[in-house]
Amino acid sequence: MPSTLTFFFLLALACFLLTQSLLKWRHIRHIQAHRAQVPAEFSHRISLASHQKAADYTVDRSRLALVGQLSESVLLLVLTLGGGLALLHDFWATHSSGLSYGLALILSVLGLSALVDLPLTLYKQFVIEARYGFNRMRLGLFFSDLARSTALGLLIGAPLILVVLWLMERMGDDWWLTTWIFWCSFNLLLLFIYPTWIAPLFNKFTPLAEGEMKTRIEDLLQRCGFNAAGLFVMDGSKRSGHGNAYFTGFGRNKRIVFFDTLLERLSPGEIEAVLAHELGHFRKHHVLQRLLLSFAGSLLLLWLLGQLMHYPTFYNALGVPTQSTALALILFFLVIPLFLFPLGPLSSRWSRRHEFEADAYAAEHASASDLVRALVKLYDDNAATLTPDPLHSLFYDSHPPAAQRIAHLQRLENAA
């Protein structure tokens, strides 16, 4: 009965919000309890002032995350049991029909979510990031980025939504399979075109200059048998003081990108070690594994939606008295995170294992001690906490805690 399903929805939401809040408060208390002293293994590398800055930065971000969790939960209740979706449906059903109705309904929900999130994003960027010296973005650039990302989202997202809705309505009971094939194809295409068509809309990418850095990197790529479409430096410093490096692209279109802030802080040997770690992800097929897992998960979710969307109780229990493909799509993806959250520790554990494997690969093809020095600098520069709460880390952290990762690399170095 709808009342029973509604009860389970509210119970899942309460458990989701309570668990997330408890984890964040544990994390905050744990960091504050260890704020007064740098962990022994880092005491000769990181100052007490830097350690306390990282602790305060993490606490501020965690408190903001608590507010974000609450606002998202309130919005979910307003849209479902509060009648928000029903009102949007009534409005758009009188002004449009067919695919245009579905598109307008979905874009309305996405727009409301973005509006609720906007004040928190502004506070994070211009208060918290600025407080700790990381924000380099002006308000004009922020809204320029927002306008470009919104326009790009509409340009790519609107046709995508229309195709998905059309497949849901025209492909019969097996729509979920054809939609999955389309979704996977779209994501592969996006991976391929992102480096050359999308990323340059937001940042400037310049080829890495000739010199010791480039020579070492090219030698590393040759040793590892890795072909890249180019080595690029991104002007990350115009938005943030954080440093990073990453691979982007797919197939022969793979690029290696360094933030300019990263190159300013690390030596050539440390850059080589960081890149060797990233190469480890490719050589150990971590990227492919994650992609395949994502595709398998999307297949399962689409199949599940295909089973639920035909039952009136699915809609009624969530405060929507009307059935439609667009409403089914919205309701499902609003609610499903509540039930996927308990899988978080499994996903995080798998990701942390990949990080250890990539570190081991880096220790084989570069210097483990250089990677240790690079990581310590990155922890320091990015104000990453050295003392996360273990239970919080179990749920949320895709990378091993700093102490575990450094100890692992030192064991590899000593065994070499």
* Per-residue pLDDT tens over the stretch 34-43: 999 999 989 8
3-state secondary structure of 394: helix
Kindly calculate the radius of gyration of the chain based on its CA atoms and give it in whole angstroms.
Answer: 24
pLDDT at 251 over 70: no
Q: Is the separation of the CB atoms in 134 and 242 below 8 Å?
A: yes
| Ramachandran angles phi, psi of 273, nearest 5° | -65, -40
* Residue in this structure with the two tokens 């081991």, named with its chain if needed: 360
Q: Which residue type occupies 31?
A: I
Give yes or no for a contact between 403 and 39, defined as CB atoms under 8 angstroms apart: yes
Can you give the pLDDT at residue 54? 96
Q: Which residue has the higher pLDDT, 197 or 336?
A: 336
Residue 5: predicted pLDDT: 85
Give one word for 204, left, alpha or beta, with left for phi > 0 and alpha for psi -120 to 50.
Answer: beta
Q: For residue 407, what are the CA distances in angstroms to 13, 272, 404?
A: 39, 20, 5
Residue of higher predicted confidence among 290 and 211: 290
Q: Which of 245, 204, 243, 248 is nearest to 228 (CA)?
A: 248
* SS3 (DSSP) at 406: helix
The answer to whether 388 touches 30, Cβ cutoff 8 Å, is: yes
Q: What is the pLDDT of residues 176-219, one digit of tens each?
A: 999 999 999 999 998 888 888 888 888 888 888 888 888 888 89
Using the CB atoms, write b or e for 312-339: b if 16+ within 10 Å. Answer: eebbbbbbbeeebbbbbbbbbebbeebe
Asked whether the beta carbons of 389 and 31 are under 8 A apart, the reply is yes
In this prediction, residue 2 has a pLDDT band, given cuts at 50, 70 and 90, of low
pLDDT at 123 over 60: yes
- By mean pLDDT, which of 117-126, 141-150, 222-231, 372-381 is the weakest? 222-231
Residue, of 67 and 282, whose pLDDT is higher: 67
**Quick check: helix, strand or coil at residue 323?**
coil
Flag whether pLDDT at 241 surpasses 80: no
- Reported as a pLDDT band with limits 50, 70 and 90, residue 273 is very high
pLDDT at residue 194 in the model: 83
Question: Among residues of the chain, what percentage have pLDDT more than 70?
Answer: 98
Question: Mean of the pLDDT values across residues 62-89?
Answer: 95
Residue 30's pLDDT band, with cuts at 50, 70 and 90, is very high
- From the number of C-beta atoms within 10 Å of its C-beta (0-12, 13-18, 19+), residue 183 rates as buried
pLDDT reported for residue 110:
96
Compute the mean pLDDT over every residue in the chain, rounded to the nearest whole number: 91
> Is residue 249 over pLDDT 90?
no
The whole-number pLDDT of residue 416 equals 65
295 is written with which tokens? 């595709």
Question: Which sequence positions are flagged as catalytic?
Answer: 278, 359
Nearest-angstrom CA–CA distance, 36 and 24: 20
**Cα-Cα-Cα-Cα dihedral sign, residues 219, 222, 226, 228:** positive
pLDDT at 227: 79
- Main-chain dihedrals φ then ψ at residue 125, nearest 5 degrees: -75, -45
Q: Which pLDDT value is given to residue 199?
A: 84
